Amino acid sequence: MKPEVLVMAASPSASVMAQLDQHFDCHHLWQQPREQQAAWLRGVAGRVRAVLTTGAIGIDAALLAQLPKVEIVAVNGIGTDAVDLEAARARGVFVTNTPGVLTDDVADLALTLLLSAARRLPALDFYVRTGGWEAGKPLAPTRALRGKVCGVYGFGRIGQAIAARARAFGMAVRYFQPRAIEGVDVPRAESLLALAEASDYLVVAAPGTPATRHTVNAEVLAALGPQGTLVNVARGSLVDEEALIAALRAHTLGMAALDVFADEPRVPAALRELENVVLTPHVGSLTVETRHAMGQLVVDNLLAHFAGKPLLTPVA
Ligand code: 8YV
pLDDT, tens digit, 9 for 90 and up, residues 277-287: 999 999 999 99
pTM of the model: 0.96
Residue 316 has pLDDT above 90, yes or no: no
CA of 147 to the centre of ligand 1 (A): 32
Check pLDDT > 90 for residue 14: yes
Domain spans of the chain, in order of start:
4-99+288-306, 103-279
Mean pLDDT of the chain: 98
State residue 265's pLDDT score: 96
**Equal fold, 4-99+288-306 vs 103-279:** yes
212-249 confidence digits (pLDDT tens): 999 999 999 999 999 999 999 999 999 999 999 999 99
The pLDDT value given to residue 135:
98
Residue 312 amino acid letter: L
Question: What is the rounded CA–CA span in Å between residue 6 and residue 23?
Answer: 13
- Which atom of ligand 1 lies nearest, measured to the CA of 291? 13
pLDDT confidence band for 116 (50 / 70 / 90) = very high
Percent of the chain surpassing pLDDT 70 = 100
Q: Are 94 and 305 in contact (CB under 8 A)?
A: yes
Question: CA-CA distance, 52 to 98, in Å (whole number)?
Answer: 12
Cβ-Cβ contacts under 8 Å for 197 (sequence gap 6 or more): 223, 224
Of all atoms in ligand 1, which is nearest to the CA of residue 290? Answer: 9
CA distance 59 to 8: 9
The residue from 27, 282, 291, 305 that is catalytic is 282
Task: Evaluate if residue 18 carries a pLDDT over 90.
Answer: yes
Residue 134 Cα to ligand 1 midpoint, Å, equals 41
How far is the centre of ligand 1, averaged over its atoms, from the C-alpha of 290 (Å)? 11
Residue 236 Cβ inside 6 Å of ligand 1? The answer reads no
Active site residue 23: no
Cβ(79) – ligand 1 distance below 6 Å:
yes
Q: What is the mean pLDDT of residues 123-150?
A: 97
- How far apart are the CA of 28 and the centre of ligand 1, in A? 19
CATH topology classification for 103-279: Rossmann fold (3.40.50)
| Residue 42 designated active-site | no
pLDDT at residue 152, as a whole number: 99
**pLDDT above 90: percentage of residues in the chain:** 100
169 exposure class (CB count in 10 Å sphere: 0-12, 13-18, 19+): middle
**Which of the following is catalytic: 219, 242, 264, 273?**
264
Residue 1: its pLDDT value, please?
92
So what's the architecture of 4-99+288-306 in CATH? Answer: 3-Layer(aba) Sandwich (3.40)
Q: Say which of 235, 241, 291, 305 is annotated catalytic.
A: 235
> Which pLDDT score, from 0 to 100, does residue 288 have?
98
11 lines ligand 1 (CB under 6 A): no
Q: Is 282 designated active site?
A: yes
pLDDT digits (tens, 9 = 90+) for 52-111: 999 999 999 999 999 999 999 999 999 999 999 999 999 999 999 999 999 999 999 999
